[in-house]
Amino acid sequence: MDKPKPDTLRKTGLSRRRFVNSAAAGAAGVALLASPAAAQLGAEEITAGMVPAALRINGRTHNLMVEPRWTLQYVLRNRLGLTGTKAACERGECGSCTVLIDGKARYSCLTLALEAAGSEITTVEGLLKGEELGPVQRAFIEEDGYQCGYCTPGQVMATEALLRKTPEPTFDEIREGLSGNLCRCGAYNHILSAVARAAELRKAGR
């Protein structure tokens, strides 16, 4: 591309620095619009500072624009309406925001949305079979594995991750598997019983 002459820049009121910055921004915008994820979005959704992301969640791919600083928790709740993933401490201490990423339990408050791109993400909503609760969810109901219920989605997801790895866990393995999830109400005995019951239901194929 030919550089504009200095007198042309003076006439238009552009400095050389402003011209270079504008050209760079324009090139970035063209590249952004040409990406596969952005191609499925309207031009009005392309905002400065945002980048395209394709997130595979509960078996469905979502193409959306995200800010690089956004956590997976924020995107799930505030951009996709999947509010089963709870926001509590938001610093990786309580486990209420636990989801599965490629089958492993992860704190979504400590995971950037862009980190999760290309992986299979499962939220508590993804454990449903149509309108039917999954075995882990049913076990928590049967054993009263909750009180206020705010931490329950994270407890359920941690349990799901544990049982996928260890279908018949010992009591110590259950305690270790859920050690990263806190219950402010202190319903731990019922939660541990719920995990054991979930293992039984899964083994029975129920």
Per-residue pLDDT of 102-157, as tens digits, reads: 999 999 999 999 999 999 999 999 999 989 999 999 999 999 999 999 999 999 99
Residue among 83, 63, 64 nearest 73 (CA): 83
44 domain-assigned: no
Question: For the chain, what is the domain count?
Answer: 3
* Single-letter residue type at 34: A
Sequence-distant (≥ 6) Cβ neighbours of residue 4 within 8 angstroms: 14, 19
Helix (H/G/I), strand (E/B), else coil: 106: strand
Is residue 56 in some structural domain?
A: yes
**Could you report the per-residue pLDDT of 155-165, keeping only the tens digit for each?**
999 999 999 99
Whether 109 and 157 map to the same domain: the answer is no
**Shared domain check, 138 and 102:** no
Last residue of a domain, one of 127, 160, 185: 127
**How far does CA 72 lie from the centroid of its chain?**
3
Supply the range of the domain harboring residue 114: 49-127
Supply the mean pLDDT for the chain. 85
Hey, what are 75's tokens? Answer: 């995107």
**Contact, 154 vs 127, CB < 8 A?**
no
pTM of the model: 0.77
In a domain, 17, yes or no: yes
Which pLDDT band holds residue 36 (cuts at 50, 70, 90)? low
